[in-house]
Chains A and B, each alone.
Chain A
Amino acid sequence: NAGVTQTPKFQVLKTGQSMTLQCAQDMNHEYMSWYRQDPGMGLRLIHYSVGAGITDQGEVPNGYNVSRSTTEDFPLRLLSAAPSQTSVYFCASSRLRGQADQPQHFGDGTRLSIL
């Protein structure tokens, strides 16, 4: 019963490096999203997708790219890592039909440090 799987769980990068955070779900959910969580703050939406081939920006999209080539996968790319991107990143998915009432299911999170 995998649900939402995120990899890696921990990562340390140097400023300027790029990397991809992986997210996969096996629940056939149409909606997938990425959040970051910083101390003392709630989760903030980075990007989201309502289906394969469709992505859109959330509250804090700058410095991040996403793509959705399949229903299952929704990778998040950091183009040129900056210390301000040090955070815990969560991927989430949910059904889309009647989506207003559909809660999101979260992965375990990726703890990312940028030096």
Chain B
Amino acid sequence: RKEVEQDPGPFNVPEGATVAFNCTYSNSASQSFFWYRQDCRKEPKLLMSVYSSGNEDGRFTAQLNRASQYISLLIRDSKLSDSATYLCVVNRDFNKFYFGSGTKLNVKP
């Protein structure tokens, strides 16, 4: 079983839409959680960390449910520039990061 699983998408949404991505992780000992964004043929870049109490950064909201081993990312008022692949990342044993295969988002005009 994969450490981190994501719906690959693609999610095709119009500008202004709200879209949510989900991610599940298999190891309950996982310690920290992140969402990264990756543009086509580019390196991953940190979008936001995910905290137990949930956290928000502008149009982006991340939630963590440790009991269900589930992480989510909500994007409100989607922009064309949000089109990218979103990677769910889990850290375990302090030194090992596990990446989901990513969810592709296409925001259409």
Contacts and interface: CB of A to CB of B under 8 A. Distances in A.
A44 B99 CA distance: 7
B49 A42 contact: no
Contact of A104 (B31, B42, B97): B97
B32 interface: yes
Interface residues of B, number: 22
Given A42-B4, A108-B43, A109-B43, A100 B49 contact: no
Contacts of B46: 103-105
B8 A42 contact: no
Contacts of A31: 95
Interface in B75-109: 87, 91, 94-102
Contacts, number: 49
B94 A99 contact: yes
A48 B34 contact: no
Given A103-B46, A106-B45, A42 B94 contact: no
A90 B95 contact: no
Given A40-B8, A45-B96, A107 B43 contact: yes
20 contacts: A40-B101, A41-B101, A42-B4, A42-B87, A42-B98, A42-B99, A42-B101, A43-B44, A43-B99, A44-B99, A45-B96, A45-B97, A58-B96, A100-B31, A100-B32, A101-B49, A103-B46, A104-B97, A106-B45, A109-B42
Interface of B: 4, 8, 31-32, 34, 42-46, 49, 87, 91, 94-102
Given A33-B97, A101-B32, 6 more contacts: A31-B95, A35-B99, A41-B101, A99-B94, A100-B94, A105-B46
